[in-house]
Structure 1
Amino acid sequence: MELPVADPGPVRAEGLLLQCPYCDSEAMHKLAQFLLPGLAAVCIDCTTGDLFRKPSVVAVDMRKEMVDYVTQRSETFISDSLIESEASQDQENEMPVDPFEIVSIFMDDFSSTKRNIIGHVSGWLMSDSREDKIDDFVQEMEMTRFWPLERREVIAEVLLKNVEPENQNCEKRLLRRDMDRHCVTVCPMRPMKCPFGCDSSFPERNLEQHCSEFLQAHLHKLLKVIHKKGFTDEGLKDHALLLEKHDNDGKLAKSRDVRSLTNVVKNLEAKIKDDSS
């Protein structure tokens, strides 16, 4: 049965903006992808064993109910967390801080209210058959564009802003004539690619964190270029660790582009050579 046609949700407003539109696009995209399997799981669980209803029949209603539910939960998440933390000193029961884990909890709670008798059986919830049906329904919805990614991203942006408002969006407000310059040159949330050539993309303000976390990977890529011969792959990894060990000032992690990292590497290699001679 084909999925029914229905309004799949809001579309981004077009036109002139007064508030900078940039947010953590990578996080938003990741969460948007997460929403579709969540909807598929709800539709499968609430129709399993039902001879008269199929997942495609309930998909429109379940989507609306799920979006309304997780949005409402996200709107009160910050205040609810503060109240709960003040009332309880049990650190083991602290609310998660990762936005994907938070939204996952919302969706699991919603899903549990929609499961029929079979859906509450633990054996069914853990079965390969259930996972296969969810995967198949996800593919069906993707093929029919029942809930396109760009529509899910609108929802994901709202959820991220609600559960982590200080970390996901640029709050800068500007005159229209200044908006383009801000977005291109100074917005801390403008998307950028890793300057060292790894596959990561992130908001510009996270560059320092990225360079620190992936220092060894960046060093390994750079050393492959500098030392095209004379090192095995394992040898390059060991050499990268040696460089970091001798980097007492932390200049490697502070390098923000290939040129600066190359200069630091060459200086450290010269220092290591002098120390060993």
Structure 2
Amino acid sequence: MDLPVANPGPVRDEGQLLQCPYCDSEAMHKLAQFLLPGLAAVCVDGTTGDLFRSPSVVAVDLRQEMVDYITQRSETFIADTLIESEVEQNADNQMPDDPYEVISIFMDDFSRTKRNIIGHVSGWLLSDSREDKIDDFVQEMDMTRFWPLERREGIAEVLLKNVDCEQNCEKRLLRRDMDRHCVTVCPMRPMKCPFGCDSSFPEHNLEEHCSESLQQHLLKVLQVIHKKGFTADQLNDRALELEKSEDRGKLAKARDARSLTNIVK
């Protein structure tokens, strides 16, 4: 059966790619080369022993599923790995830095979900017959230009291209790194006031907020220090007095209630 060519993916265009141990074009080409045998393995493992389906019959659908799968996984990989580390309480769970290695993991995971009963047998997975069928199907797809290299490079570019931070900081990074960046280090990540007021703001505005809301923060700290014996007016007067004192600069640098309390005391 001839292989159809339907929606093989975007054509590669120029763009800023991930800075990795390889040059940009080399990393993209290496990943693009890997996609074809990866697809062949999925098609062979999913149809081995099937009297009604061959690798060429399922190739179009599995190609699209595979591209969608690795794209989605690349966007959530960091977050998923961090969650798994917390569940397993394994701080040493290292994430690979090489994009090729990461995509290889995605491909293996996708392949396992598509194997039929025979495809799960260890003897088949390690057999020369399987490797021969995969090689033959790779050659067939290559000869018929079922998934041309330039199309696969388009997919690789999508996976490797740096994109703008979703929270609009100046950082450009891989999609798969976006979740970790936005949650842990992005200066635009939202945060609530550490003093307990109702304000929320980007993390990089913390210093400005602490300075502008110093009197309000002082009042909250004084309410805790002087739980009894002070009226609301007296606490307000004391907060205003501290705000106008020579120590204002030191007070404004406090970034949480504990540090501000220590300065006030």
Calculate the TM-score normalised by the size of structure 1. 0.53
Higher relative contact order (CA 8 A, sep 6+): 1
Deviation at 1:162, TM superposition (A): 7.0
Q: How does 1:7-156 map to 2 (within 5 A)?
A: 7-12=7-12, 21-23=15-17, 24-85=24-85, 90=90, 93-156=93-156
SS in 1 for 2:146: coil
The alignment's C-alpha RMSD in Å is 2.4
Code of the aligned partner of 1:127: S
Whether the 8 Å contact between 1:74 and 1:162 is mirrored in structure 2 is no
Code of the aligned partner of 2:114: K
Matches of 1:69 and 1:162 in 2, distance apart?
19
Deviation at 1:167, TM superposition (A): 7.6
Matches of 1:115 and 1:156 in 2, distance apart?
24
Whether the 8 Å contact between 1:2 and 1:56 is mirrored in structure 2 is yes
Matches of 2:52 and 2:162 in 1, distance apart?
38
SS in 2 for 1:5: coil
Whether the 8 Å contact between 2:12 and 2:153 is mirrored in structure 1 is no
Matches of 1:132 and 1:167 in 2, distance apart?
35
Residue in 2 that maps onto 1:231? none
Whether the 8 Å contact between 2:11 and 2:153 is mirrored in structure 1 is no
SS in 1 for 2:43: helix
Number of aligned residue pairs: 161
Calculate the TM-score normalised by the size of structure 2. 0.56
Q: Which has the larger radius of gyration?
A: 2
Matches of 1:73 and 1:162 in 2, distance apart?
16
Deviation at 1:22, TM superposition (A): 4.0
Matches of 2:7 and 2:88 in 1, distance apart?
42
Code of the aligned partner of 1:141: M
Bigger Cα displacement from structure 2, 72-81 vs 134-143: 72-81
Deviation at 1:138, TM superposition (A): 0.4
Matches of 2:87 and 2:53 in 1, distance apart?
44
Deviation at 1:100, TM superposition (A): 1.2
Deviation at 1:83, TM superposition (A): 4.0
Deviation at 1:4, TM superposition (A): 1.9
Residue in 2 that maps onto 1:213? none
Residue in 2 that maps onto 1:193? none
Code of the aligned partner of 2:136: D
Code of the aligned partner of 2:116: N
Matches of 1:139 and 1:5 in 2, distance apart?
15
Residue in 1 that maps onto 2:3? 3
Deviation at 1:46, TM superposition (A): 0.4
Change (3 A) 1:167 1:116: closer
Matches of 1:45 and 1:162 in 2, distance apart?
33
Change (3 A) 1:167 1:3: closer
Matches of 1:38 and 1:91 in 2, distance apart?
31
Change (3 A) 1:78 1:92: closer
SS in 1 for 2:73: helix
* Residues 6-39 of structure 1, C-alpha deviations (whole Å, 9 max, x = no match): 22112246xxxxxx72431110110000000000
* Residues 116-167 of structure 1, C-alpha deviations (whole Å, 9 max, x = no match): 000000000000100011011001000000001111111111222379x648
Deviation at 1:87, TM superposition (A): 5.5
Bigger Cα displacement from structure 2, 4-13 vs 26-35: 4-13
Matches of 2:33 and 2:81 in 1, distance apart?
26
* Residues 37-59 of structure 1, C-alpha deviations (whole Å, 9 max, x = no match): 00000000000000110100100
Code of the aligned partner of 2:118: I
Change (3 A) 1:87 1:49: closer
Change (3 A) 1:162 1:83: farther
Structure 1, gaps ≥5 residues long:
14-19, 169-277
Task: Decide which structure has greater helix share.
Answer: 1
SS in 2 for 1:93: coil
SS in 2 for 1:76: helix
